[in-house]
């Protein structure tokens, strides 16, 4: 044992002293090894100084990620690049009687000093909560003469609303209807509740029937069948496959003519 100790160059020590020396050596080794692996405090100063040098020099800009891709229902104005509102965003709104009365009274109360209050900065602002409470109380005790005036105001509003609604419906293009209905379908897919109904497609915007559906329509009109739709469609498909090219020709010609007329109509509606 002593020979082996001398061989490795460790001086002769008593067992307790030797144990203490070994523990100190191992502890130092572990500390040194951990320090070499973990960032030292002195190195953090170096990094801080490097950061200071970089900030003092040319300003580095964070690279921008890829531009967000527009959704299928989104369209942009070719000049400004801004998103074009969906049809429902510009659809006229019919308001109830109370809302008309509320909006009218709100403009009047804005000018009265008793409905002004100081905000956190000390500036006088309109107290909308107090005004709304006052208008609500007035509505409950509204005299018959004032209610009759509001009824007349409501009739004028409805007449204007119906006029604006017809103009809005007339302004809709096939692309408008498609975009709005795509967005509504997306909302339903995402699980949103109370999604508005799709905009109905007018008859003049509906896609024409294909040659097969023209044949099925002709077949149903000339038969007294009471078959369910699925069974009739299956039978019509079998009969269509059995037709010769010459027998299919009238329906295919009609389908081509309808499609050409549809395309021309869509061009006029753009």
- Flag whether pLDDT at 65 surpasses 70: no
Domain boundary among 172, 199, 221: 172
Whether 59 maps to a domain, the answer reads no
The reply to whether 19 falls in a domain is no
Report how far residue 104's alpha carbon sits from residue 131's, in angstroms, rounded to the nearest whole number: 12
153, 172, 191 - which closes a domain: 172
Q: With 80 as the cut, is the pLDDT of residue 201 above it?
A: yes
Q: What is the mean pLDDT of residues 9-13?
A: 43
Q: Please state the pTM of the whole predicted model.
A: 0.55
Q: How confident is the model at residue 206 (pLDDT cuts 50, 70, 90)?
A: confident
What pLDDT score does 227 carry?
79
Q: Domains in the chain: how many in total?
A: 2
- Summarised one tens digit per residue, pLDDT across range 214-255 is 999 898 888 877 778 888 889 889 999 999 999 999 999 999
The pLDDT of residue 91 is: 95
In a domain, 257, yes or no: yes
Spell out the SS3 assignment of the chain: CHHHHHHCCCCCCCHHHHHHHHHHHHHHHHHHHHHHHCCCHHHHHHHHHHHHHHHHCCCCCCCCCCCCCCCCCCCECCCCCCECCCHHHHCCCCCCHHHHHHHHHHHHHCCCHHHEEECCCCCEEECHHHHHHHHHHHHHCCCHHHHHHHHHHHHHHHHHHHHHHHHHHHHCCHHHHHHHHHHHHHHHHCCCCCCCCCCCCCHHHCCCCCHHHHHHHHHHHCCCCCCCHHHHHHHHHHHHHHCCHHHHHHHHHHHHHHHHHHHHHHHHHC
Residues 163 and 87 in one domain: yes
pLDDT band at residue 269 under the 50/70/90 scheme? low
Domain that holds residue 130: 75-172
Q: Is the pLDDT of residue 83 over 90?
A: yes
Give the pLDDT of residue 84: 93
65 part of a folded domain: no
Look at 26 and 63; give whichever has higher pLDDT.
63
Q: Residue 46: pLDDT band by 50, 70, 90 thresholds?
A: very low
Q: Give domain status of residue 223, yes or no.
A: yes
CATH code at position 250: 1.10.30.10
Assess if residue 185 is contained within a domain: no
In a domain, 245, yes or no: yes
Count of CB atoms within 10 A of residue 194's CB? 5
């Amino acid at each position: 044992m002593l020979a082996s100790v001398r061989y490795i160059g460790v001086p002769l020590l008593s067992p307790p002293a030797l144990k203490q020396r070994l523990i100190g050596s191992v502890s130092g080794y572990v500390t040194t090894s951990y320090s070499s692996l973990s960032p030292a405090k002195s190195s953090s100063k170096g990094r801080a100084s490097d950061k200071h040098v970089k900030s003092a020099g040319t300003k580095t800009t964070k690279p921008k990620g890829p531009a967000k891709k527009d959704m299928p229902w989104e369209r942009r104005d070719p000049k400004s690049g801004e998103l074009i509102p969906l049809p429902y965003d510009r659809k006229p709104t019919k308001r109830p009687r109370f809302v008309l009365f509320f909006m009218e009274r709100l403009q009047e109360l804005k000018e009265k000093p008793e409905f002004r209050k100081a905000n956190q900065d000390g500036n006088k602002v309109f107290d909308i909560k107090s005004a709304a409470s006052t208008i609500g109380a007035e509505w409950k005790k509204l005299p018959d003469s004032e209610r009759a005036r509001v009824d007349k105001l409501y009739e004028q509003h409805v007449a204007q609303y119906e006029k604006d609604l017809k103009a809005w419906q007339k302004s809709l293009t096939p692309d408008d209807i498609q975009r709005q209905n795509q967005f509504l379908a997306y909302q339903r897919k995402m699980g949103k509740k109370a999604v508005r109904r799709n905009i109905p497609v007018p008859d003049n915007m509906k896609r024409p029937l294909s040659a097969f559906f023209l044949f099925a329509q002709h077949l149903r009109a000339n038969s007294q069948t009471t078959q369910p739709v699925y069974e009739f469609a299956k039978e019509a498909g079998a009969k269509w496959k059995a037709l010769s090219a010459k027998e299919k020709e009238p329906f295919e010609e009609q389908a081509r003519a309808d499609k050409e007329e549809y395309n021309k109509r869509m061009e006029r509606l753009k």
